[in-house]
Amino acid sequence: MGQLNQSQLYAVLVVLGIAILSLVYTFFLRSQILSQDKGTARMQEVWGFIKAGANAYLGRQFRTIVILIGVLTLVMAASVFVVPPTAEANEMFGANATTYVAIGRAIAFLMGSLFSYSVGFIGMNVAVEGNVRVAAASRKGYNPAMQIAYKSGSVTGMLCVGLGLLGGTLIFLVFGMAAPDALLGFGFGGSLIALFMRVGGGIYTKAADVGADLVGKVEAGIPEDDPRNAAVIADLVGDNVGDCAGMAADVFESFEVTLVSAMILGIVLGAASASPNVPGSALRFVVFALLLRGIGVIASIIGNQFVRTDERRRNAMAAMNKGYYIAAAIAVLGFIAITPFFMTDPTTGQVDWRPFLATLSGIILAIVLDKLTEYFTSTHYSPVKETSSASQTGAATNILSGLSLGMESSVWAIIVIGLSILASVLIFSGYSSNATIQFASVLYGVSLTGIGMLSLTGNTISMDSFGPISDNANGIGEMAGLDKNARNVMDDLDAVGNTTKAVTKGIAIGSAVIAAVALFGSFLTDTGKVQQQLGQTPLSGIDVASPLVFIGLLVGGAVPFLFSSLTIRAVSRAASQIVNEVRRQFKIPGLMEGKVLPDYARAVSISTSAAQKELVSLGVIAVMVPVLVGFLLGVEALGGFLAGIILSGQLMAVFQSNAGGAWDNAKKYIEEGNYGGKHSEPHKAAVVGDTVGDPLKDTAGPALNPMIKVINLVAVIIAPIVVTVRVPGQSIGIGVIVAMLLCLAALVWAIWQSKREGESVAVEPSSPVPSAKKA
C-alpha cells in the first residue's frame, strides 16, 4: 500500500515531463520575443525608463522579503521539533524521518516562494521586453502586434503552470504518502510571496495611477501618458507590477493550493478505500489530480497556437476566445479519456466518474463567473448603463449606484460558488458511510472543482498579461510619438486588454475562495490526524454555535475589512505624495516647455517605498492573527475564524472589484458619447467614481485573494502546534503566554505602523486647490 503502480508511475513521470515541456516552451517563447525589433531610439529611451523602474521595484521588493523568507525557512525546518513527523513519514523514512521532514519542509517552502517570485519576476520582465516590441510591431500591422502581446503574456502563463506542476510533482515523487507535510510548506511559500506581490503591486500601481491622473489629467490638463508628467513612467511601471506580476503570483498560488489540497484530501480518501490486491489504489486520487493538471497544461499549449487574427478581421478578442475554447474542449476530452484508466474503484473495478464530474463543474463555474463579472462590469448590460445614467445627477448618485451594484454582484457570485460546492455534495453523496471519509470526498470534489476552473490557467494568465503589455505599448507609442495607424492598432489592443483583465479577476477571486474552502477541509482532516496521534479526541467539526468558535468567526469576518481599510488608505496616502512630487517638478524651469526631462525615478521611488512599507504590516497581520486566534481561543475557534474570513473575504473582494470595474466602464460609456460625452458634467461625475474605484478594484479587492489563502495555510500549518501545546484540561504554559504577548505586540505594532503613516503625510494644497472634478 502507498506505492504507485507501474502505469501510475509512468503517468506521473509524463506529468513531470509536461511540466518541463511547458518550461521549455516558455523559454522558446521568450527567445522568440527577444528576437523582435525594438523600434526607434526614442521608443527605446522611454522603454528604458519603464524597464529600470520595474527592475528597481522588484529588486527592492526582493530585499524586503528575502530576510523574512530566510527566517521562515528556518522556522519551517525547526517546526519538526514541535510537530513530529506523521506516521506516514516515519513509515517511509524510518529513523531519519525527523531530518528528512525538517529538510523537506524547509526546501518546499523555499521552492514555493522562489517559484512564486520567479513567476512574477520573469513574467514581468518578459512583459516589459514585450511591450516595446508590440509598439514596434504595431507599425507593421495588427496581427504581428497582437501576436507579440499574447506571446509575451503566454510566457507568464506557461511559466506559472509549469512551475506549479513541477513543484507539486517533485514533492509527490520524493515524499509519496508523506507529501502533505512538504506540500503545505510549498503552498505557504507561494502564498506569502503572492500576498506581497499582490499587495505591493496593487498599492504601487494605484498610487502611481491615481497620483498621475489627479495632478496631470485633472489639475494641469495635460493628456494621459504625457512625457512632462513625472509620474507617467511610474504609472506604466505600475501596470506591470500590479496587473502582471501581482496577478500572476496570485493565480500561481491558487493553482498550487488547489493541487495541494487535492493531494492532501486524495491521500486520505485513497487510504480509506485502497485494496491491498490492487496496487496503486491508495494513490489513485492524487495521481488523478496531477494528471488533470498535466492535461490542462497541454491543452493550454495547443490552444495558444490558435490565437491569431488577420489584417482584415483585426479581432484580438475573438482570437483569444478561440484559443481558450479549443483548449477547454481538449481539456475536457482529455479528462474523459484518462478517467477509465486511472479512476476505477479497486473493489468493484467499475469506472468512477465522480471526480471527472467535479472537475467539469469547475470548468462550468469558471464560465459562469466570467459571464457574471461581464454582466456587472461591461458597458453592454444594464448595471453599468444605470451607473452612467446616475452620473447625470452628479458624483454622489454615480457612487451610490456603483456601491449598490457591487454589493448585488457579490450576492450572485457567492450563490454561484455555493452551488458549485453543492454540486460536489450531490456528486459525492453516499460515497462512504464513514462521516470523515464522506466529508473528505466532498472536499476532494471541491478541490477538483478548483483544479477544473484553473485547468486553463495558461490561457487565462496569457490573456490577463496581454492587458498591461498592450497598455504599456500604447503608452510608449504616445510618448515616442508613433504614427496614427500604429496608435490605432495599439488603442484597440489596449481596449481588448481592459476586458480580458476584468474577466480574469472573477476567476482569480473565485479560485481563491474555492482553494480556501478546500484548504478549510484539509484543516479539519489534518488536525484530526494529529490529534489522533496525540491520543486526543479528534475534532469532528467546527461548531459555530459554540461561543468561542463564534467569536473566532466574528474576528475572521473582520480581517478582510481591516485589510481593505489599510490598503485603501495606503493608496490614498501614496497618491498624495506623488501629487506633491509632480507639482514640485512642474515648477522646474523648461520642464513644461518639454526642454527638460522630469525626474521619473523619483516618482518610481515614492511608489516603490509606499508599496514596500505596507508589506511588512500586512504580512504580519496575515500571519499573526491566525496564530493568536489559534492559541488563545483554540483550534476549533481557528476553524470558525477561517470560515469567517472566507465568507467576508469573498463578499468584499467581489463587491470592491465589480464596483470598481463598473465605475471604470460607466466613465468609458459616457466617453463613447452618451449623456453628453467627454468633458460634460456627467463625465466629471463619472471620473470621481472611477477614481474611487481604482484602489477598490486593483488594490483592496485583489489583495483579499492571497490574504484568504495565506491565512488558511497558516492555520493549517499551526493547527498541529496548537493541539500539541494546548492540551484540553491542562493549563497553558508560560512560554505560550509570552509568545502570545509577543504576537499581540507585533500585531498592534503592525496596525499602528500602517495607520501612523497615514497621519504623517500632510497634503500640501496647491493654488488653486486641486479637485477631481476639474477634468
> Whole-angstrom Cα distance, residue 448 to residue 444?
6
Map the footprint of a copy of itself across residues 480-509, applying CB under 8 A: none
Is residue 625 involved in binding a copy of itself (CB under 8 A)? no
Which of positions 366-385 make contact with a copy of itself (CB under 8 A)? 382
Vertex 48: Cα angle to 44 and 54 (nearest 5): 140
Residue of 605, 610, 569, 568 lying closest to 695 (CA atoms):
568
Q: Which of 122, 655, 664, 719 binds a copy of itself (CB under 8 A)?
A: 655
Instruction: Give the SS3 label for residue 351.
Output: strand
Among 92, 148, 395, 476, binds a copy of itself (CB under 8 A): 395
- Please report how close the Cβ of residue 517 comes to a copy of itself at its closest, in angstroms: 7
Residue 628 CB, shortest distance to a copy of itself, in Å, is 12
Q: Are 62 and 92 in contact (CB under 8 A)?
A: no
Among 546, 609, 724, 753, binds a copy of itself (CB under 8 A): 546
173, 562, 736, 744: residue in contact with a copy of itself (rule CB under 8 A): 562
Considering only CA atoms, which of 246, 123, 264 is closest in space to residue 182?
264
Nearer to a copy of itself by Cβ, of 503 and 517: the residue is: 517
Q: What is the largest CA-CA distance in the chain?
A: 85
Q: How many CB atoms lie within 10 A of CB 721?
A: 18
Please report, as residue ranges, which positions from 444 to 483 form the binding site for a copy of itself (by CB under 8 A).
Answer: 446
Helix axes 382-390, 395-427, angle to 10 degrees: 160
Q: How many residues at the interface with a copy of itself, by CB under 8 A? A: 103
CB-nearer residue toward a copy of itself: 347 or 382? 382
Is the backbone of residue 634 left (phi > 0), alpha (psi -120 to 50) or beta? left
> Of 606 and 772, which has the nearer Cβ to a copy of itself?
772
Q: Considering only the stretches 315-323, 354-362, 392-400, 739-747, report the one whose residues sit in contact with a copy of itself under the rule CB under 8 A.
A: 392-400
Nearest-angstrom CA–CA distance, 284 and 272: 12
Of 126, 110, 130, whose CA–CA distance to 160 is shortest?
A: 126
Q: Which of the stretches 103-111, 314-322, 409-417, 503-511 binds a copy of itself when contact is defined by CB under 8 A?
A: 409-417
Q: Interface with a copy of itself includes 386 (CB under 8 A)?
A: yes
What residues contact 504, with CB distance under 8 A and at least 6 apart? 247, 251, 460, 461, 463, 464
Question: Is residue 650 close enough to count as binding a copy of itself by CB under 8 A?
Answer: yes
CA dist list (Å): 723 to 325, 524, 640, 731: 47, 12, 16, 13
Q: Considering the rule CB under 8 A, would residue 393 count as an interface residue with a copy of itself? A: yes
Site residues for a copy of itself, 564-583, by CB under 8 A, read 564-566, 568-569, 571-572, 575-576, 579
Binding to a copy of itself (CB under 8 A): which residues in 170-229?
210, 214, 218
Q: With contacts defined by CB under 8 A, name the span among 142-150, 277-285, 440-448, 478-486 that binds a copy of itself.
A: 440-448
DSSP-H helix ranges across 676-733: 681-695, 701-725
Binder of a copy of itself out of 100, 188, 520, 631 (CB under 8 A): 520
What's the closest the beta carbon of residue 319 comes to a copy of itself, in angstroms?
35
DSSP string of 12-66? Answer: HHHHHHHHHHHHHHHHHHHHHHHTS----HHHHHHHHHHHHHHHHHHHHHHHHHH
Q: Per CB under 8 A, does 692 bind a copy of itself?
A: yes
Q: Are 123 and 112 in contact (CB under 8 A)?
A: no
Q: Which among 17-25, 261-269, 286-294, 438-446 is the span making contact with a copy of itself, rule CB under 8 A?
A: 438-446
d(CA 208, CA 498): 18
Q: At what angle do helices 316-342 and 457-480 cross, to 10 degrees?
A: 160
Contact 615, 196 (CB under 8 A): yes
- Distance in angstroms (rounded) separating the CA atoms of residues 97 and 89: 6
Q: Any residues with CB less than 8 A from the CB of 682 and at least 6 apart, and which?
A: 388, 391, 392, 670, 675, 676
Among 58, 165, 421, 451, binds a copy of itself (CB under 8 A): 421
Judged by CB under 8 A, the chain residues 729 through 768 that form the site for a copy of itself are 758-759, 762-763, 765, 768
**Could you give the 3-state DSSP secondary structure of residue 746?**
helix
- Nearest approach, Cβ of 399 to a copy of itself (angstroms)? 5
Q: Which is nearer to a copy of itself, 47 or 655 (CB)?
A: 655
Verify binding: residue 554, a copy of itself, rule CB under 8 A: yes
Residues 240-279 that bind a copy of itself (CB under 8 A): none
Residues 104 and 86: their CA atoms lie apart, in Å, by 13
Q: Is 392 in the site for a copy of itself (CB under 8 A)?
A: yes
Of 422 and 732, CB closest to a copy of itself = 422
Cell 473565485 found at: 510
Q: Which is nearer to a copy of itself, 164 or 557 (CB)?
A: 557
Nearest residue (CB) to a copy of itself, 485 versus 771: 771
**Binding span for a copy of itself by CB under 8 A among 33-41, 93-101, 264-272, 516-524:** 516-524
Among 201, 468, 475, 695, indicate the residue that binds a copy of itself (CB under 8 A).
695
Contact characters 696-725, a copy of itself, x per CB under 8 A = x-----------------------------
Binding window for a copy of itself (CB under 8 A); candidates: 153-161, 277-285, 356-364, 646-654: 646-654
Comparison of 389 and 500: residue with beta carbon closer to a copy of itself: 389
Contacts of 14 (CB under 8 A, 6+ apart): 294
Q: How far does CA 588 lie from the centroid of its chain?
A: 41
Coil/strand/helix, residue 310:
coil
How many whole angstroms separate alpha carbon 296 and alpha carbon 395? 45
- Residues 506-518 as b/e (b if ≥16 CB within 10 A, e otherwise) read bbbbbbbbbbbbb
DSSP 762: -
Q: How far apart are CA 329 and CA 456, in angstroms?
A: 11
Say if residues 529 and 184 touch (Cβ distance below 8 Å). no
Q: Which of residues 14-73 bind a copy of itself (CB under 8 A)?
A: none
The pattern of x and - marking residues 580 through 619 that bind a copy of itself according to CB under 8 A reads: ----------------------------------------
Q: Which of 331, 618, 643, 718 binds a copy of itself (CB under 8 A)?
A: 643
| Alpha-carbon separation of residue 319 from 92, 455, 493, 621, 661 (angstroms) | 50, 19, 12, 43, 23
Q: Which of 28, 561, 672, 752 binds a copy of itself (CB under 8 A)?
A: 561
User: Residue 398 CB, nearest distance to a copy of itself (Å)?
Assistant: 9
Q: Does 631 bind a copy of itself (CB under 8 A)?
A: no
Per CB under 8 A, the segment of 56-64, 455-463, 583-591, 642-650 that binds a copy of itself is: 642-650
Near a copy of itself by CB under 8 A: residue from 25, 49, 150, 439: 439
Q: Which stretch binds a copy of itself (CB under 8 A): 84-92, 99-107, 363-371, 644-652?
A: 644-652
| Separation CA 178–CA 197 (nearest Å) | 30
Footprint of a copy of itself on 526-545 (CB under 8 A): 540-545
Compare residues 545 and 734 and give the one whose CB is closer to a copy of itself.
545
Other CB atoms within 10 A of residue 380 CB: 10
Among 68, 283, 502, 553, binds a copy of itself (CB under 8 A): 553
C-beta of 519: minimal distance to a copy of itself in Å?
A: 12
Using CB under 8 A, pick the residue from 224, 345, 599, 681 that binds a copy of itself.
681
Of the candidate residues 73, 125, 648, 657, the single one contacting a copy of itself (CB under 8 A): 648
CB of 350 to a copy of itself, least distance (A): 25
Handedness of CA 76, 79, 81, 85 (dihedral sign): negative
